[in-house]
Amino acid sequence: MNYIPTIGLEVHAELSTKTKIYCGCENKFGAEVNTKVCPVCSGMPGTLPVLNRKVVEYCCKMGLAIGARINQLSKQDRKNYYYPDLPKAYQISQFDIPLCEGGSVPILVNGEEKRIGVTRIHIEEDAGKLLHDDKFSGSLVDYNRCGVPLIEIVSEPDMHSSEEAKEYLEAIKRLLQYLDISDCRMQEGSIRCDVNVSLAPEGSDALGTRAEMKNVNSFSGAVRAIEYEIRRQTELLERGETVVQETRRWDDMAGQSFSMRSKEDAQDYRYFPEPDLAVIEVSDEEIARIRGALPELPHDRFMRYRALGELTDYECGMLVGNLAMAEFFDRCTALERVKPKAVCNWLLGDISRILNERGSELSDAALTPENLCAMIALIEKGTISNTAAKTVLEVIFDEDRAPEAVVEEKGLAQNNDEGAMRTLVCEILDANEKSVSDYKGGKTNALGFLVGQCMRASKGKGNPQIISKLLTEELSKR
């Protein structure tokens, strides 16, 4: 029997506010342990939390970006559980009235748009970090992360493959980046998710029993966790067994999930209203202000790039996925000097390569859209070859200089003088009789060798198109 998986995701994203959610401690990753802690975030008795205004704004931003409804009155609740990373023994979260409800996130599946429903987005606080190491006598707790603001984005069970889940996660990440509300540093755990998977026989309307996997800390981990869970549940069902509704812990190193809690231990968070915090009210004016300040969203940008008619979906996606690059691309195309496709090729090709080699960002480079377009225009005019352009790029990447000046200084201009080139071509043909006879004998790839020889003889300044043309002409005379 064929089983269709159904997947729902709960994404927790750390917000990039300057301070924590309920106190003025700095929200900073990587600080020395327990140096960003005060009596409020370490849960000392008698302290009172005060909500950070920006947390409400950031959550509403995300909500409005996905077309969610803002609950203009919402409240916060205590979620109770005992664990050493949670010093109050409860997490302040939102239970029955989250800040945002509804909305959807567009993704592309095989080039077609599909919308993944979002149930709700609420605000909550992060827990501290437990450090386990055999060299310590106990488990160590670092409370720096305690009280870092999170939004939890809960999807509808609208995804049916690990690919769709991956697309959805990427779309969420791009939204967070475009809205500038999260650092999205995956390796630092700024986005984490819980994964729900169930299987139902093909054609069946009812959903199967779901298992929830916690502790999924990367998008690729989420894909592996989903695929593992689909296999595990398929095997159970095929053996005639049933799937138990349970929470499982994903161990990415082992590539396996493990049952965390048996049924009789089912989590019971005993939510109740947080009496220390006032009701959150979001006014019509505030909503209008946030909505008005939303940037162009990644999906809209993707559609705009696709509509240029020159770029592949892959290229559009690569540009959209890197905000700095997308903005640079837009500034280049606004100049209307060269084809968008050429700009895209350089951005995704050599420029990305240099950035990767250096591990730096486009915003750190001295490269300007004007200089890049001027350089591409020089190639299109035939002034420089593609190869010479790479040399120009190395210079204008770090220095704001006109490419024309760089070409001049380095003597990179192409020789487009047909007369001089023809002499050179004839010399090369005279010196390479073997290749000439190979070519005549049908080995057309001998032409490539001859072009290479001419390029070398011209010290790289010959125009390969002209050389190739002249070679063909001269060869036909022999």
Partner 1 sequence: MITKSEIEHLAKLSRLYLTDAERETLAKEMDGIVDMAAQLQQLDLDSVELTLDGRRNVLREDEIIPSYSRDEILKNAPVREAGCFSVPKTVE
Provide the binding-site residues for partner 1, judged by CB under 8 A.
Answer: 17-19, 23-26, 32-39, 42, 44, 50-54, 56, 73, 75, 80-84, 97, 130-132, 136-143, 215, 249, 260, 268, 270, 273, 275, 277-281
Residue closer to partner 1 (CB basis): 251 or 404: 251
Residue closer to partner 1 (CB basis): 53 or 459: 53
Q: Cβ of residue 285: shortest distance to partner 1, in angstroms?
A: 13
Helix 369-381 and helix 323-335, axial crossing angle in degrees, nearest 10? 60
Residue 346 has what DSSP assignment? H
Residue closer to partner 1 (CB basis): 3 or 29: 29
- The owner of tokens 């239970």 is 95
Q: Cβ of residue 230: shortest distance to partner 1, in angstroms?
A: 24
Q: Cβ of residue 220: shortest distance to partner 1, in angstroms?
A: 22
Q: Tokens for 404?
A: 């024309």
Residue closer to partner 1 (CB basis): 12 or 249: 249
Q: Cβ of residue 18: shortest distance to partner 1, in angstroms?
A: 5
In whole angstroms, give the CA distance from residue 228 to residue 459: 57
Q: Cβ of residue 339: shortest distance to partner 1, in angstroms?
A: 44
3-state secondary structure of 34: coil
Q: Cβ of residue 304: shortest distance to partner 1, in angstroms?
A: 33
In whole angstroms, give the CA distance from residue 97 to residue 76: 8
Q: Cβ of residue 176: shortest distance to partner 1, in angstroms?
A: 17
Residue closer to partner 1 (CB basis): 124 or 315: 124
Q: Cβ of residue 301: shortest distance to partner 1, in angstroms?
A: 28
CA distances from 393 to 32, 323, 343 (A): 40, 21, 13
Q: Which amino acid is at 349?
A: G
Residue closer to partner 1 (CB basis): 173 or 248: 248
Residue closer to partner 1 (CB basis): 17 or 458: 17
3-state secondary structure of 444: coil
- ∠ CA 196-198-200, nearest 5°, is 160
Residue closer to partner 1 (CB basis): 165 or 216: 216
CA distances from 258 to 191, 193, 249 (A): 22, 16, 5
- The residues facing 149 across adjacent strands are 125
3-state secondary structure of 114: strand
Please check whether residue 379 is in contact with residue 339, taking contact to mean a CB–CB distance below 8 angstroms.
no
Nearest to 73 by CA among 372, 333, 273, 364: 273
Residue closer to partner 1 (CB basis): 281 or 313: 281
For residue 323, the tally of other CB atoms under 10 A from its CB is 18
Please check whether residue 282 is in contact with residue 100, taking contact to mean a CB–CB distance below 8 angstroms.
no
Residue 186 has what DSSP assignment? G
Residue closer to partner 1 (CB basis): 1 or 73: 73
Please check whether residue 385 is in contact with residue 414, taking contact to mean a CB–CB distance below 8 angstroms.
yes
Q: Cβ of residue 305: shortest distance to partner 1, in angstroms?
A: 34
Q: Cβ of residue 280: shortest distance to partner 1, in angstroms?
A: 6
CA distances from 19 to 54, 148, 149, 186, 247 (A): 9, 8, 9, 20, 32
